[in-house]
Amino acid sequence: MNRSQSVKVIIASIVPIILLILPTTTLGIEGLTIIEHRVIAIFFFAAIFWILEPIPIYATSLLIIFFELIMVSNQGLKMLISSPDPTSLGTPLNYKDILFTFASPIIILFLGGFFLAMAATKYRLDQNLARVLLKPFGQQPKWVLLGIMIITAVFSMFMSNTATTAMMLSILAPVLSLFLPEDRGRMAFVLAIPFAANIGGIGTPIGTPPNAVALKYLTGESAISFGEWMLMALPFVLVLMAFCWILLLTIYPIKTPQISLDMKGTWIRNPKAYVVYGTFALTILLWLTDFVHGMNAYVVAMFPVAIFSAFNIINKNDLKNISWDVLWLVSGGIALGLALESSGLAQRMVDVIPFEALHPLIIIMVITVVAMLMANFMSNTATANLILPLVAALGVALSSLDTFGGSKMIILAVTISCSMGMALPISTPPNALAFATGSIETKHMAKPGVMIALVGMLLNYTLMYLLNLVGFFE
C-alpha cells in the first residue's frame, strides 16, 4: 500500500469512525439501540468505501462481514456485545447468519452461472455460437451491427458482461481496421458491444450481480422465478436494444459499404464437449420450467456445478478462475442487508423518516434516479448493495406504494436502474474495455450513453406501470 492509498483510506475512515464513537443518544433517533448504532456506522463505512474505493470493492464487502461479526454478532468481542442493560444494547445478530452469506443460495446461483460460462468458454461454445448466429445477418453494416448487439445481449444474460464484451470486441477487432478512416461508424460498432452487454445483463437473474442482490429481497410473497424474471425483463431489453441500435446508427452513421466478419472455427466434437452443450441446454431449460419439476433456480444452479465437476470439465485449475471477488462483493451486500434488517434498524429508519408524507411516485422517481446516477460513477453491484436494502424496507413499510406494485415493483425498478450505468468508461467494466480499444473518446460514449440511460429510465417506469396493470406484482 503506497502513501496516497493510505491517505485515502484514512480520509474515508473518518466519518464511520466518528459515527461509531459518538454516544448513541447524540444521533437523535429515539429508541436507537447500540447494535443499531453500530450498524449505521458500518453502513456509512460501506457507502463511503464503495463510493471512493480506497480499497478494492470486494475488500470492503469482506470488511463489512468482519465488522459485523466482531461488533454486532452473538460471537463478537465480549466487551462490545455484553452490556448491563440489554434493552439499550439491542439484539446481537446470529454469527451463523452472517457467515452463511458466503454460501447463500444467491451465491450458489451465481456459481452455477460461472460454471456454465467457464465451460462454454473452455469448449468454445460461445465463439462457435457467435459465429453461427452472426451468419444470417449478412454483410450489410447495419444488420451486422444488429446481429452483434443481439448476440452480445443474449450471451451477457448467461455469461458475465465483461467476458461477453471481451469476446465480442476481439471478434470485432480485425474488422475495425477495414473501416474507412473517416468513417465514424466504427464507433457505433465499438459502443454497441458494451451497451448491449449492459442492457442484456438485465435479462436474467444471473445476467449481472445487481439482479442477484435483488433476489435477496424478493422473497416470500414477492418471490420471483427465473422464468418470471425473464418474462418481465425481456420486453424491456428488446425495446431498449432497438432504441440503442437506431440511436447508434443515427449518431454514428456507417459509411463503409460492406463488413464481413470472417470467423474461423469448428464445433468441438468429443464426449466432453457434448456434455457441455447438453448441460448448458438442460440448465436453461430447468431454470425456465420450475413450475413443472419444482426445483427452484438455486437448486438448478447446482446442475452445471455437479455435472462439470464430475466429468472433470471444470478442473481444479479452472476453479481458480472463478471471480471470487464478484461473489464476495455480493456476499457483503447480503450481509449489509441482513444487518440492517435483523437489527431492526431498517424498520426504525422507515418509522422515523416521514416517507408517508411524500407522494409515492416522487419516492420511486428519486430512488431510481439516484441508483442510476450512482451506477454511472461506481460499481453497479455496490450501488445495488447500498440502495436495495433500504428500498426493500421502505417497500414493505410504505403502504402508499401498494397501489403501484408495492415492494416488488420498487425493488425491480431500482435493480433495472442499477444497470443503466452507460455513460462513462468508468461506469461498467464493458464500457472500460470498449474505451481501451482507443477507437472512442469519453464524449463519444457519453452522448449515446446518457440518452440510452434516460430512455431506459422512462421505459423502466412504463414497464412497471404495465406490469402493475396486468397484476404481475400481486
Binding site for other proteins (CB under 8 A): 2, 113-114, 117-118, 121, 126, 160, 162-163, 165-167, 169-170, 173, 321-323, 326, 432-433, 436-438
Rounded to the nearest whole angstrom, what is the least distance from the CB of residue 5 to other proteins in the complex? 9
Q: Which is nearer to other proteins, 221 or 441 (CB)?
A: 441
Cβ neighbors of 201 (< 8 A, separation 6 or more) are 156, 157, 161, 207, 208, 211, 419
Rounded to the nearest whole angstrom, what is the least distance from the CB of residue 424 to other proteins in the complex? 15
Helices within 201-270 (DSSP H only)? 209-217, 226-251
Q: Which is nearer to other proteins, 124 or 272 (CB)?
A: 124
Task: Return the SS3 of 238.
Answer: helix
The CA distance from 235 to 76, in Å, is: 47
Q: Which is nearer to other proteins, 127 or 347 (CB)?
A: 127
Q: Which is nearer to other proteins, 159 or 398 (CB)?
A: 159
Rounded to the nearest whole angstrom, what is the least distance from the CB of residue 192 to other proteins in the complex? 16
Q: Which three cell numbers stand for residue 119?
A: 465451460
- Beta-bridged to residue 73, according to DSSP, are 93
Rounded to the nearest whole angstrom, what is the least distance from the CB of residue 85 to other proteins in the complex? 48
Please say whether the beta carbons of 425 and 194 come within 8 A: no
Q: Which is nearer to other proteins, 326 or 382 (CB)?
A: 326
Task: Return the SS3 of 95.
Answer: helix
Q: Which residue has the cell 463505512?
A: 45
The CA distance from 169 to 167, in Å, is: 6
Rounded to the nearest whole angstrom, what is the least distance from the CB of residue 264 to other proteins in the complex? 15
**Distance of CA 61 to CAs 216, 230, 320, 415, Å?**
16, 28, 20, 19
Rounded to the nearest whole angstrom, what is the least distance from the CB of residue 421 to other proteins in the complex? 17
Q: Which is nearer to other proteins, 38 or 122 (CB)?
A: 122
The CA distance from 459 to 385, in Å, is: 23
Q: What is the DSSP letter of 311?
A: T
Rounded to the nearest whole angstrom, what is the least distance from the CB of residue 43 to other proteins in the complex? 28
Rounded to the nearest whole angstrom, what is the least distance from the CB of residue 155 to other proteins in the complex? 11
Rounded to the nearest whole angstrom, what is the least distance from the CB of residue 430 to other proteins in the complex? 10
Rounded to the nearest whole angstrom, what is the least distance from the CB of residue 126 to other proteins in the complex? 8
Sign of CA dihedral 156, 160, 163, 165: positive
**Taking the chain, what is the end-to-end CA distance rounded to the nearest angstrom?**
51
Q: Which is nearer to other proteins, 24 or 439 (CB)?
A: 439
Cβ neighbors of 382 (< 8 A, separation 6 or more) are 50, 51, 57, 60, 329, 333
Q: Which is nearer to other proteins, 148 or 414 (CB)?
A: 148
Rounded to the nearest whole angstrom, what is the least distance from the CB of residue 145 to other proteins in the complex? 19
Pick from 245, 152, 191: which is nearest to 435 by CA?
Answer: 191
Q: Which is nearer to other proteins, 236 or 435 (CB)?
A: 435
Phi, psi (degrees; rounded to nearest 5) at 313: -80, -40
Sign of CA dihedral 438, 170, 380, 54: negative
Q: Which is nearer to other proteins, 166 or 335 (CB)?
A: 166
- Beta-bridged to residue 434, according to DSSP, are none
Burial of 316 (0-12, 13-18, 19+ CB in 10 A): exposed
Q: Which is nearer to other proteins, 282 or 322 (CB)?
A: 322
